[in-house]
Amino acid sequence: MSIPFWCVFIGALLIFIARIPVAKAMKALGGYNNHLPRMQQAQLTGFGARALSAHQNSFEAFLLFAVGVLMAHTTQTAGWLVDGLAIIFVIARVIYLLCYWADLAWQRSLVWFVGFVCSLLLMISPTFRTALL
């Protein structure tokens, strides 16, 4: 499996890793309410609310990233830039989660932007295919 595909796999795992602190915060609210989890999530504050937002944003970011990797792959665009963008995206998402959990707002926005740009560059990488090979 290629580096970008491994990064897609890791990106998918990060969605569920981001969910762990949400479940812990929900449990701290008197137990995990599996009947009405979204209602319970709406009651989260502080760290729990930030963890929930980070989890939800992980879905949003993953979609663009996966599309970018697939666009590069289906056009047979490969090389150091595609590999590097995929790796940088994953690193940025890990740092993003840590910043969100630690309530580091501007740092979180900065690494979000880095990941976003990586996804966009992956999408347009077929334009530069000859330069990347």
Q: Which domains does the chain show, CATH number per domain?
A: 2-128 (1.20.120.550)
pLDDT at 130: 63
Q: What would the pLDDT profile of 33-42 be if each residue is shown by its tens digit?
A: 888 888 888 8
Question: One digit per residue, pLDDT tens: the chain, 133 residues?
Answer: 899 999 999 999 999 999 999 999 988 888 888 888 888 888 889 999 999 999 999 999 999 999 999 999 999 888 899 999 999 999 999 999 999 999 999 999 999 999 999 999 999 999 887 665 5
Q: What one-letter code names the amino acid at 69?
A: V
Assessment of whether the complete model's pTM goes beyond 0.85: yes
Residue pointed to by tokens 């937002």: 53
